[in-house]
Structures are given as C-alpha cells and as structure tokens.
C-alpha cells in the first residue's frame, strides 16, 4: 500500500514535533501549529509545502540543518556538500560504497538549501581564522 503524501507530517504531529510551511511570497519556512497543518492536509491543498522542521547542529554562530544520518531510498535526490564552487552536487542515491562514505562523513543533505546554509557556516570558520 502506498503511503499518504503527508504521512511523515502526520507522524511528526502525533509525536509533538514542529511542522513548518513554506511561505511562497518570501521563500522562508515558518513554523505552523499542528491544527493549522492538519487543516491544510484535510482541506486537500494540492501542494501545501509542509515539512517537519529539520534537526539542526551548531557551527560557529549558525544553526545548520543536520546532514542525513540514514541512507535514503535508492533513487532519492539529495545533495553532497562541496566547499569549492558551485558548493554542492545533486546526486541520485544509489547506495554505492562512495555514497555510503559521503553519508558516514556527514556530507549528504536533503536539500540544496540545507547545503548552502552548512557551507556558509563552515566557510565562516575559515574567514575568521584568516583575519
């Protein structure tokens, strides 16, 4: 049986986790209450852009989305951080030895946006050292 499009959101709400909605006018993820999230799902909004608020780690003064800790399903698009330009590589997870190594080293993120935040935090450490 195919899982519901928002099954991860419903599970998160049941566990008391924070849910966010993408504000299309600003492109910023904002926290949304459980009742509001459920209402949007129940009202059948086609693409209401909900997500579970990502776990974060602290790098310098930045709260950075945590890298992926578990291998995604084969075929999942994810992003590998790269300190050189362009800053990340889009990859389709194939569970290869190379991908497993990237995952183990904390180099794989769910979104390009997450990689940009992590990269900025890491590079800020080097900029402080150079001063």
Q: Domain range spanning residue 33?
A: 7-53
3-class SS of residue 49? coil
- Asked whether residue 76 falls in the same domain as residue 96, the answer is yes
Q: Which helix (H) or strand (E) holds 48?
A: none
Longest Cα separation, the chain: 57
Give mean pLDDT, residues 5-10. 82
* 1 in a structural domain: no
Give the pairing type, strands 62-65 and 88-92.
Answer: unpaired
Q: Judge if 64 and 99 occupy the same domain.
A: yes
For residue 104, what are its two tokens?
């183990």
Is the domain of 38 the same as that of 77?
no
CB 20 within 8 A of CB 47: no
| Whole-number pLDDT of residue 108 | 96
Q: Is 72 contained in some domain?
A: yes
Q: Are residues 78 and 62 in the same domain?
A: yes
Q: Judge if pTM exceeds 0.85.
A: no
Q: Each residue of 74-116: pLDDT tens digit? A: 999 999 999 888 889 999 999 999 999 999 999 999 999 899 9
CA 91 vs CA 29, 95, 104: distances in Å: 24, 11, 16
pLDDT at residue 38, rounded to an integer: 87
Q: Number of structural domains, the chain?
A: 2
Instruction: Flag whether 70 is in a domain.
Output: yes
């Amino acid at each position: 049986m195919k899982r519901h499009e928002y099954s991860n959101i419903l599970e998160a709400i049941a566990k008391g986790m924070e849910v966010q909605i993408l504000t299309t006018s600003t492109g910023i993820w904002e926290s949304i209450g459980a009742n509001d999230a459920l209402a949007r799902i129940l009202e059948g909004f086609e693409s209401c852009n909900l997500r579970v608020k990502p776990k974060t780690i602290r790098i310098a003064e930045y709260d950075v989305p945590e890298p992926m800790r578990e291998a995604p399903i084969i075929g999942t698009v994810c992003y590998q951080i790269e300190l050189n330009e362009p800053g990340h590589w889009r990859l389709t997870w194939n569970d290869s030895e190379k991908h497993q190594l990237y995952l183990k080293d904390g180099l794989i993120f769910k979104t390009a946006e997450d990689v940009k935040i992590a990269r900025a935090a890491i590079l800020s450490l080097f900029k402080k050292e150079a001063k």
